[in-house]
Amino acid sequence: MQCPCNIDKEYSKCCQKAHQNIYSVSSAEVLMRSRYSAFVFANMEYLQKSHHSKTRPSKKENRDIKKWTKSVKWLKLEVLNTIYGTLNDATGTVEFKAYFMENSAINCIHENSKFTIENNHWVYVRANEETN
């Protein structure tokens, strides 16, 4: 099976590693890619685990997110820019576009997202969102 975050890679050699062991995530970009794949699979457990404790969605928000993510068809991910967020960094940002189809229209989530280390693994903090 192809990985949702990169059609040139197999899921088993890409995001599946992160989904099975969040401590295997080596950078902010890898976490962002694994979160995109988790949205595609509606893997709410991973999305919660990979979200910073201070900005993590509530149970009700999670139910709404799961309902929405299952209602759209995810098309592709484009990573546009990464600043810091490597093995030697404590924070980083990743700019990306996630394309999806909803109600027969193609939409795009354009984010410049902030990531940090919490509990010895990368987590998503928040995003400055621009929807095109």
Distance spanning both ends of the chain, measured CA to CA: 29
DSSP 60-102: HHHHHHHHHHHHSEEEEEEEEEEEE-STT-SEEEEEEEEEEEE
Q: Average model confidence (pLDDT) for the chain?
A: 94
Mean pLDDT, rounded, for 92-108: 96
pLDDT tops 80 at residue 129: no
pLDDT digit string (tens) for 61-74?
Answer: 999 999 999 999 99
| pLDDT per position as a tens digit, 111-128 | 999 999 999 999 999 987
Global confidence as pTM: 0.93
Model pLDDT, residue 131: 45
